[in-house]
Every structure is written in structure tokens, then in C-alpha cells.
Structure 1
Amino acid sequence: MYRIIGIGITLGFLLLVGCGATSQDDGNGYDEPEPCLFTNPVADGADPWIIKQDDTYYSIESRGGEIFVSETDDLIELDRNEQKVWTQPSTGWNRSNLWAPELHHIDGKWYVFYTAGDTDGSPFLKQRSGVLEAKTDDPQGEYEDKGMLYTGDNIEDQSNNKWAIDMTPLEHNGQLYAIWSGWEENEDTDRTPQHLYIAEMENPWTISSNRVQISSPDEDWEKSTELAINEGPEVLKNDEQTFVIYSASESWLPAYKLGQLQLVGDDPMNPDNWEKSGPVFQGTEEVHGVGHASFTTSPDGTEDWIAYHTKVSTEPGWDRVIHLQSFEWNEDGSPDFGTPVPAGETNSKPSGSCD
């Protein structure tokens, strides 16, 4: 099973963790949470990303033009031991609009994939994808900026780079690929449809082929009400099966949801080898705007977990929180995410958390 999940959020929201099935009176008239239980949301923020390395979870977030990495052995308490690892430059293509970093361990080194631009605030017309490489084997150490990745259609001269966000790597049959959300052409409005693309990589900071479109928001459930969007792709593997779980519709509306691509052929660069289905996870009357999910396992490795953000209300906007819950697998090997857990509902902590 795949062992990666991501978190690019502002952590430190109310955490209710605890062991048992009900709360107990602490003698002062207040209920204390039982150990081994927790309630959602576990954090305030969006675009969760965590990676599990051995027995340690590393989470990553951006705020105030800086990137931070935290370290913990508890999947529910992700804001421990935070360290700043990178600050945006004051000039250049990546000086502003820092979004959704992801932390990856590739060929024995740590890398951060991030989105940034050179304009202040909206409209977000200049967003591109970049990569940081750790200077040591410590994911909380210093990083070197390896620069902007080429996400266009002219790999030979790398001219006319194209808008790109939410990049994530895929390793398949010994080849490294990049998958991201992008525009067909650069536009003068950010209300532009977004598609999913893939390209081969020579190494984690160099794309070596022209991009190929593997998903376009052409289903009714992807188009929603205002803008057709595919974004936030994340790789999920189950034994020999490879999936890309992505977000569809508008992140600022309750209709935000998850779709799925499954690799059904050997070559990920062939669009016909990606089979779409969905929605595979969506909101309810109690949970709104489910999206930008990522995945990990419990401390003892026996359970699979999904992290995702939700909107705090049905009003348009980006006021969001993070939820965690376990998920299962269907008989055909595809993920079964179930129904999003409402805020305030008590859940068992990940297996191995209370040993």
C-alpha cells in the first residue's frame, strides 16, 4: 500500500484526543476525552500533506511566505516540533502566492514540491511549480531552491511555460513522472478551466518531456456550478494498482469533491491508460466542500487513512478545516473512502496510537 499523505495547512487547531468509548467526569464538572479517541476537525487549514517515514510523520505547511516541516509520532497531533525550512525570495518568479507544499523522499533525498507566482494576490495568473532539495538527510533542515519546472509544450527550447499548480511525483516501473493541474493556454483571467497533466522527469527537479493531458473536467459532477476544475492530484497505490485521487469543481464552493483516475495500462503517458470514475468522495448535509485529500497509514501500519479539508460553511470562500478518517478497499482493489465524518463526531485514534 502507498505510504504517503500530505499536509499544507495551518496546524494547531483544537485537538481532542484521547482511550475508551465515552468521556469521563474529571471531578470538576468537565468531561475529559477518553484516551484513544479523537474528534474532527484536527486542524484549521487546507491542502493536507503528511509523509510517514519509518515510525515518524512529517507534515508540511506554508504561511507568511515561509515553509515549515513538523515531526511527530502521533498522526492526530501533527503540529509538534515545527521547523522553518525555507523562505520565499523577495524577487523572482516565486516571490508570492506560495501554495500547498508537498514533502517527498525520492532516491534517498528529501524534496519539496510547491506552487508560487510573481504577482501579489489575485488574479492568480502566474502560478508555476518549483522544487526544493534538502541539503542534508534531515527533512527539517535547510533546502536549496532548484527552480521552476517546465510545464509547457516545447520541451526542446522550454519556451512559453504554462500555468501549473499542485504538482506531485509518481514513480512507476523505475521512471519518475510529474502530475499537476494546469491550463491549456496561459490566460488573462484565473477563471480558466483546469486539467490534469503528466510528464516524464529526468530527476525530481527536471521535467524531460512535453506534458500530456490525462484528465479534463468533462463530467457533470466535475463542472459543478461555476468553473470546470481538476486539481490537487495525489498518487495512491494498492499493491500493483496505481490511482490518482484528485479534486473536482470549485474549492470555494460546497460542491468540491474527489474524483479518481486508475492506471489501467503500462504507460502513464498514454491518456487512454487512465480510467476515470467519480465522485469517489463528496460532502453531505453536514460536511461541505470535501477536497484536496492525501493518504497515509496508522502507526502500526494496519489501517489506511485519508486526510482532507472541508469548508466550515456553505458560503463561498476558503475558510476550511482538516479532517482525518480511516478508509477501506473494494474487492476490485480501488479505495472505498466511505462518507466524510462530521465535525464533533468521536472516532477511534489510528491503530497503534495507544500501545
Structure 2
Amino acid sequence: MAQETTFTNPIRDGADPWVYQKGKRYYYSMSTGDGIAVSVSERLTDQGTPVKVWNAPETGWNKVTVWAPEIHYFNGHWYIYYAAGMEPGSPFIHQRSGVLKSASEDPFGPYEDMGMLYTGDDLSDPRSAIWAIDLSPVVIQGQLYAIWSGWKENRDTDKTKQHLYIAIMCDPATICGNRVKLSSPEEPWERGGPLDLNEGPQALQHQGKTFIIYSTRESWLKEYRLGQLQLKEATSDPLNPDNWEKSGPVFMGTNEVLGVGHCSFAKSPDGREDWILYHSKKSATPGWDRDIRLQPFTWKVDGSPDFGQAVPAGVPIPLPSGEQ
């Protein structure tokens, strides 16, 4: 039987896709509702079999609503960053960000719960952490930072504007500085619906340039899309908001692919191509019924990413270069 040379979107059901590339393998993480699962694969188009590696505790700040976990590797250990809350259901006003650490180089654990990451304005008072989701680590100029989506202040309603924040990290499990706001939903293409959001920030680095690709507009609507922040100079201080330049939208839905957002990035198995993994809505009806898609992207002359147009379902896409 002839070997397949193409694939079609969507590649699977789900939302908030995350992939981490290390060596010849891809490491995926996903929420199970009451915990977190991890899978390992040598393919971008097939995440492999998820294995549950962590159950949310029965009590505490992180016992329910586990959202959008990301698995990363630092210094011989795997770290999983995630959001969770202490009360189930809407309004989702208790979400905070936490991190798990593996005991060894085994991505399937066991994992130790390292606790809540500090996402507020007064580091001397750990209890003053402020609502935070979609936290992701990034190394810039050799220094580790955390970027995430958060509220200006804790509120009693989840109909609250979301901003993008950054803070310095002392190590992969510790934020050791107060947060700095990098972006608010202020541009016309970030606004227009019932709630203005900046969320799902993901670092993308290329030829010495650092970008933060993030989701904006409402995640439950077909207008969900991607925006971009770019660090103006390679040596600029990432903690200075003036050193970032916003542009967008850099990736939007179409009449056939609705509400694209919450992305992650990887190289093809042979390292020759760049790919974006993202989710989209299954219908125009407001809600969170979504599937996961994958497509290649290129780079513009100025060094910024060119994501092109969302490829419709059923249209053949050549397999990532080097994928068997």
C-alpha cells in the first residue's frame, strides 16, 4: 500500500493545543477536565496516546477547571504550566496559574505540584496573586520570563477585560518579580464584541527576533483571531512595554474556518519547515465546541511570521517534511 504523503484538517477534536519539540520527538499536553495528560510522538500530525500524569487535588486553589496545560523541559526536568480554580462552573473568577515538576527526565512523571505562581503586583504578599491563565515561559537574552493573560484586579464577574503580562522568573517554578502589563485589547481589530480579550500568549523566536503571538476577540465567537507583539530590538528590555510593537491581526478565520486561535509552534521533523498548531470553532454558533488544526507557515522579508490563510477542512496538505 502506498504511503500517505498528505493530511487534512482538522487533525483531531479538542482545544488549546500544545506541542513541545525536543530532539526527534514531540511532547503534547492537554487537560482532562480533572487533571492533565501527556503524550509523545515522532509525528506532528498524530499526537500519540495521551497518558494521565496528574490529578487535581480534592481541595485547594487548583481542584477544578484545569485549563490549557503546557509541557516544557528545563535542566533535566519536565514542567507543566496550567490554570485552575477553587470553584467549579461560571463565573470563572478563581483561575490562577500553577506549575508541576517531574521527578526525572520521564515526561510521564511522577510530577510534584510546585504550587501557585505569583501573578500580581505585590510579591511580598503571595496571597495577592491576581487572576491568570495561559501562562507560558520564554527565554529572552538568556533570562527566563513568564508571559500570561490576566485581569487588572480580581473581580466577582468573569466578564472582565483580559490583558497580557510578563514577569521575570528565578527558575522554572518561581516568578520572582512583579508583573508588567505588555498589552491591552485596544486596537480596532481586538475589539467589537461583548468582551475585549488578550490571551493565549506564545513566544515565537526567529533569527534573533522575539515575537509574542496571542489570541484576541472572544474565544467563543467566530471572530477569534491572532495578534502579534514584537520586541523591537534583540537587546531591548522585555520588561519595558515601550520596547514591544503590536500588529495584527496576523491570522484570521475565513468563511470556512471559524474562530482561529490559541496556537503553538514547532519545526518539521527534519527542521526545514515551521508549523502552527491551533484550534478553531466547529460552527458559527457561540460556544467552545472546537477542533485542532495544523498548517505550515513562512517568514516575511522583515523576519516576521507569515501565517497565510487558514486551510479549509478536507484540503490536502503535504505532510511535515521528514514525517514518516
Q: Specify the TM-score bucket, using the shorter chain as the normaliser.
A: over 0.9
Partners in 1 of 2:224 and 2:87 — Cα distance?
26
Q: 1:159 offset after TM fit, Å? A: 4.0
1:193 is the counterpart of 2:171: no
Partners in 2 of 1:157 and 1:182 — Cα distance?
18
Aligned to 2:121: 153
Asked if structure 1 preserves the Cα contact closer than 8 Å seen for 2:268 and 2:322, the reply is yes
Partners in 2 of 1:70 and 1:205 — Cα distance?
22
Partners in 2 of 1:218 and 1:256 — Cα distance?
15
RMSD of equivalent CA atoms: 1.2
Q: Which has the larger displacement, 150-159 or 238-247?
A: 150-159
Correspondence 1:219-230 to 2 at 5 A? 219-230=187-198
Asked if structure 2 preserves the Cα contact closer than 8 Å seen for 1:281 and 1:337, the reply is yes
1:68 is the counterpart of 2:37: yes
1:106 is the counterpart of 2:47: no
Aligned to 2:4: 35
Aligned to 1:287: 257
Q: Which runs of 5+ in 2 are unaligned?
A: none
Q: Which has the larger displacement, 225-234 or 62-71?
A: 62-71
Asked if structure 2 preserves the Cα contact closer than 8 Å seen for 1:110 and 1:139, the reply is yes
Q: Which runs of 5+ in 1 are unaligned?
A: 1-17, 20-33
Partners in 2 of 1:58 and 1:197 — Cα distance?
26
Aligned to 1:166: 134
Per-residue CA deviation, residues 15-37 of structure 1 (Å, 9 max, x unaligned), is: xxx96xxxxxxxxxxxxxx6111
Asked if structure 2 preserves the Cα contact closer than 8 Å seen for 1:152 and 1:159, the reply is no
Q: 1:156 offset after TM fit, Å? A: 2.1
1:133 is the counterpart of 2:104: no
Secondary structure in 1 aligned to 2:152?
Answer: coil
TM superposition score normalised by structure 2: 0.97
Partners in 2 of 1:311 and 1:81 — Cα distance?
24
1:83 is the counterpart of 2:64: no
Question: Which of 23, 26, 42 does residue 57 from structure 1 map onto?
Answer: 26
Secondary structure in 1 aligned to 2:126?
Answer: coil
Asked if structure 1 preserves the Cα contact closer than 8 Å seen for 2:95 and 2:132, the reply is yes
Q: 1:52 offset after TM fit, Å? A: 1.2
Per-residue CA deviation, residues 101-143 of structure 1 (Å, 9 max, x unaligned), is: 0000123321000000001111100000000000111111210
Aligned residue identity for 1:232: G
Greater C-alpha radius of gyration: 1
Partners in 1 of 2:237 and 2:55 — Cα distance?
37
Q: 1:157 offset after TM fit, Å? A: 2.7
Partners in 2 of 1:140 and 1:36 — Cα distance?
31
Aligned to 1:351: 321
Aligned to 1:305: 275
Asked if structure 2 preserves the Cα contact closer than 8 Å seen for 1:181 and 1:195, the reply is yes
TM superposition score normalised by structure 1: 0.89
Secondary structure in 1 aligned to 2:87?
Answer: coil
Aligned to 1:22: none
Secondary structure in 1 aligned to 2:36?
Answer: strand
Moved over 3 A (4+): none
Aligned length: 322
Q: 1:44 offset after TM fit, Å? A: 0.2
Correspondence 1:203-214 to 2 at 5 A? 203-214=171-182
Asked if structure 2 preserves the Cα contact closer than 8 Å seen for 1:49 and 1:102, the reply is yes
Q: 1:96 offset after TM fit, Å? A: 0.4
Aligned residue identity for 2:61: W
Question: Which of 264, 272, 295 does residue 232 from structure 2 map onto?
Answer: 264
Partners in 2 of 1:315 and 1:83 — Cα distance?
32
Q: 1:174 offset after TM fit, Å? A: 2.0
Q: 1:158 offset after TM fit, Å? A: 2.8
1:177 is the counterpart of 2:145: yes
1:243 is the counterpart of 2:178: no
Aligned residue identity for 1:85: V
Aligned to 1:119: 87
Aligned residue identity for 1:203: D
Secondary structure in 2 aligned to 1:272?
Answer: helix
Secondary structure in 2 aligned to 1:218?
Answer: coil
Partners in 2 of 1:108 and 1:270 — Cα distance?
31
Partners in 1 of 2:30 and 2:114 — Cα distance?
19
